[in-house]
Amino acid sequence: MSRRSMLLAALAVIMALVAFVPAMAQDKIEIQVWIAFGGARLEWAQGVAAEFNELFPQYEVVVVGDRSYEEVLSASSLAFEQGTQPAIIHFFEAGTQNARDAGFEGNPQFKSVAEAFGDRTEVNGLPVDFDNFVDAVRNYYTLDGTFTSFPWNTSSAIMFNNKTMLDAAGVESVPTTWAEVDAACEKIMAMENAPANCITWPNYGWFFEQAVAMQGTDLVNNGNGREARATETYLNSDAGIAYLEWWKDLENKGYYVYTGVQRDWNGTYNLFIQQQVAMLIYSSSDTSNATNAGRDAGFEVVASFYPHNQDVEYVGNLIGGGTLWLSNGLSTEVEDGALTFLLYLTNAENDASWHKLTGYVPVTKAGIALLEAEGWYEENPNSLVASAQLDGSAQTVATAGAIFGNFPAIRDILTTAIEEVLVNDRDVTEALNEAKELADESLAEYNFLYVTE
């Protein structure tokens, strides 16, 4: 090669490098995050992602929402099979076992976040501290001794009271037991200007599961599915029968109103805000909305613990909500970006901000400390109720919550059985026996498909 040719070749290499370096600087590592929220909750998450992208310009976190939990898991499973899975997906607590079993051609769809973090104490300068999570969250999501998914939105079942109406009826304090609810309803419905009914709640199996745990009873065998894979449900337990008998009695007295729609979150919420009922059993995830809506409508909303069975020792409540799952098979760069975003999403400031927006309980001790320092709970006492309820719960396998396959489908079976009792006047024991039989069949079919050992 002549000297001129060598110089031209060297120049070409230099020019190629000059063109390549800016391109590298501009390249970002995309982190896809699929969540099961829309509206203000999705906008909040996208806002946090925008802040994160400015702080960590090497990443581009893209948060996609407006789908249900089931739709997110289904879509992500298909994407996993095609090799186009998002880095993080959002799934509810009842789907924990389903998510753990999800996979394709022998490859698990998700990777344990504890395994992904390993023994690192920080990622991109953000501290890793699983001890920072509050006990109720740690208890539910610690499986086989470690965190499988990353906690985010956590709730509990509580009761919203129209305190203005309770005062007018002469009810001196918010009811804390089933008997006190009954007594309060008797007074409220005796008022000259009584509402159409006294109390309601969205028919959803989660409230039944809460009530069973509050009485210290497991929902499934094998230590609520935590000591070994569950093979039998306890839907027809004495605790479950007592709970449903209570509601049937309230319905027979005209105290309880069923909207006729399963999982009718909006319908029951509107009945309360429109003052057609005095009490609403609901998720704490809407504490801020309910409190503000009551104030706007001209009445005081007081949040209180989920009433318990006065004939049985109260044990405690369990959580609801969802967690964030890390996809398996990500490149090291994408996985590190996803882990960094998980840490940023749940730092103290974001944990507190998320709680203020929604009513979901803060999942970290640092988030609670920040809220206390700000005087948030003193100004907003309703916001403390769900956290206090979970903090006061005994730590048992019942209150840790059940883990088993096909839980979402079995929850639907339970919801239908409750409807049969409240709408079609089915005998409680008969309805729950039938539900248990169906649920056990569903669980056996699931285990047949997924249990290989």
Q: Phi and psi at residue 241, in whole multiples of 5°? A: -65, -45
Place of tokens 């609901």: 282
Contact in structure between 345 and 31 (CB atoms under 8 Å): no
Q: Measure the CA–CA gap between 351 and 358, rounded to whole angstroms.
A: 11
Q: Pick the closest to residue 313 from 382, 245, 399 (CA basis).
A: 399
CA distance 383 to 392: 15
pLDDT of residue 140: 87
Using CA atoms, how far residue 57 sits from 11, 52, 277, 332, 343, in Å, is 32, 8, 51, 17, 16
Tally the C-alpha atoms within 13 A of residue 336's C-alpha that lie toward its C-beta. Answer: 13
- pLDDT for 453 equals 60
Please report where in the chains the tokens 């059985």 appear, as a residue.
417
Q: What is the pLDDT of residue 66?
A: 85
Beta bridge partners of 123: 126
Q: Which two tokens mark 396?
A: 């048992």
d(CA 174, CA 235): 29
Radius of gyration for the chain, computed over Cα atoms and rounded to the nearest angstrom:
25
Contacts of 187 (CB under 8 A, 6+ apart): 169, 170, 171
Beta strands at 88-92 and 29-34: parallel, antiparallel or unpaired: parallel
Please tell me the distance from the alpha carbon of residue 205 to that of residue 225, in angstroms, as a whole number: 18
CA 31, distance to chain mean position in Å, is: 23
CA angle 201, 207, 209 (to 5 degrees): 165
User: Taking the CB of residue 276, how many other CB atoms lie within 10 A of it?
Assistant: 14
Nearest one of 45, 15, 29 to 344, comparing CA atoms? 45
| Model pLDDT, residue 239 | 98
CB burial of 96-123 (b: ≥16 within 10 Å; e: otherwise) equals bbbbbbbebeeebbbbbbbebbeeeeeb
pLDDT mean by block of 10 residues, the chain; 453 residues: 46 43 65 96 98 98 91 86 92 92 90 95 96 91 89 96 98 97 98 97 97 98 96 98 98 96 96 98 94 97 98 95 95 98 98 94 96 97 96 93 95 97 95 98 96 71
| Dihedral in degrees, nearest 10, Cα atoms 393, 395, 397, 403 | 70
Between CA 403 and CA 407, with CA 404 as vertex, the angle to 5 degrees is 105
Q: Alpha-carbon distance 93 to 48, whole Å?
A: 23
Position 26 scores a pLDDT of 59
DSSP letter at 256 equals B
